[in-house]
Structure formats: structure tokens, C-alpha cells
Amino acid sequence: MEPYELIRSRRKTLALEVTGAGRLLVRAPLRCSRARIDAFVSAHAAWIEKHVAIQRERAALRPPAPTAEELQALRERAQAELPEKIAYWSEKMGVTPTGFKVTAARKRYGSCSAKNSLCFSCFLMNCPEPAVELVVVHELCHIREKNHGPGFYALLERYLPDWRERKKLLAMPREPEPGEGE
């Protein structure tokens, strides 16, 4: 049986999850017996084996996490290049962001706060120019449309009719393993 990490919570069912690093997580109700959990894991051994192998293959193909120097270089590049793009598109779209910052977020390339402050991941700078432009315009659209409803996509389409093609150019960096340095 594959070793697993047990996570108990107030859920009603058992569930399996294979992380991006190929670790097996078992989510279980608070009062579920260890014997029942082990039986559940054993019953799903084929599924687990298949998905652990897939995730380990994917992990082996990902580039290593950036060094502190590489991360700093990405931040500096973002600080230097993004303000000009924000200014150009803000004027063209008739919107005004209240602020701008660069982070090392790994789950999303950009965000727009309720107060219209923009935030961009430095990892965006690893993407091709058309993708960078898409993220900037996407976040500026959120100044007018706070959600991803039809109005938002109509606005995005108005300024970037090819946004679907540009979106295909986006790829987020891998998650570092616990203990992996930054």
C-alpha cells in the first residue's frame, strides 16, 4: 500500500488526492477508523498507482524553482516593464488603477483589488509579450467589471479580440516542494 498523509476534517466522505509532487493525501471524516481508511486506500490502489506515476512524471519535466537571484531579476524586470504597459492600456481603456505592485505569486499572474489596485506576479515576465499584455488588460478590465461575467468578457474582447489565443501562451511555474529554498 502506498504511504499516505491523512487529513481529518468535518467531512462525511473519504477522498484521495495526489499532489503535484506525487504525494498521496487521504481526506477522511473525524471519526472514521484507520481500518476503514486503509481498506479505502487498498481498494483504490490501481487508481493511486496510475495518478502517482502521472504526477511524478510531470514533476520530473518541470524546471527547477528559481534561485533568489533569478527571482529578484524577474521582480526588477516586472517593475521596469509593467508600468509602461499599464499606463498605455489604462489610457486606451479610460480606467485608472489606484496602485501597482509585483509579487512572487505562483497561483495567478495578476489580480485587481476592490479598490482597483493591481498586483502582478513576477513570473509573468517568463511569458511571451502577447500573454503579458493579456494579463495587464485582463486586470484593467476588472476596474470596470469586478467579476468574470458576460460584461467582463465583452470588455476584454473589445480591447483584445485575440485574447483566447493569447491565453494559450500562459503557463504558471511549478510549486516548490516543502523545504525547497527561495
pLDDT band at residue 179 using 50, 70 and 90 as cut-offs: very low
pLDDT in tens, 42-101: 999 999 999 999 988 888 887 788 899 999 999 999 999 999 999 999 999 999 999 999
pTM above 0.85, yes or no: no
Q: Are residues 161 and 78 in the same domain?
A: yes
CA separation for the pair 30, 33 (Å, rounded) = 9
Residues facing residue 120 across a β-bridge: 102, 110
Is 56 found in the same domain as 74? no
Which pLDDT does position 126 carry in this prediction? 92
CB-CB contact of 50 with 18 (8 Å): no
Residue 35 lies in a domain: yes
Residues 42 and 73 in one domain: no
Cα separation, 166 vs 173, in Å, equals: 17
CATH code for position 157: 3.30.2010.10
Domain co-membership, 81 together with 35: no
182: Cβ–Cβ under 8 A, 6 or more apart, which residues?
65, 66, 68, 71, 104, 176
> Is-contact 17 38, C-beta < 8 A?
no
CA distance 15 to 37: 10
Q: What is the pLDDT of residues 112-153, one digit of tens each?
A: 999 999 999 999 999 999 999 999 999 999 999 999 999 999
Is the same domain home to 51 and 88? no
Percentage of the residues of the chain whose pLDDT score is greater than 90: 80
User: Residue 152: what pLDDT?
Assistant: 97
In the chain, how many domains are there? 2
Same domain, 40 and 128: no
The beta-strand segments (E) located in the chain are: 5-9, 15-18, 24-29, 99-103, 110-112, 117-121
Please check the confidence at residue 182 and state whether its pLDDT lies above 60: no
| In a shared domain, residues 80 and 161 | yes
Could you tell me which of 153, 131, 132, 133 has the C-alpha nearest to residue 142?
153
Examine the pLDDT at 177 and tell me if it is beyond 50. Answer: no
What per-residue confidence (pLDDT) applies to 172? 58
Q: Are residues 114 and 56 part of one domain?
A: no
Claim to verify: residue 75 and residue 160 sit in the same structural domain: yes
127 part of a folded domain: yes
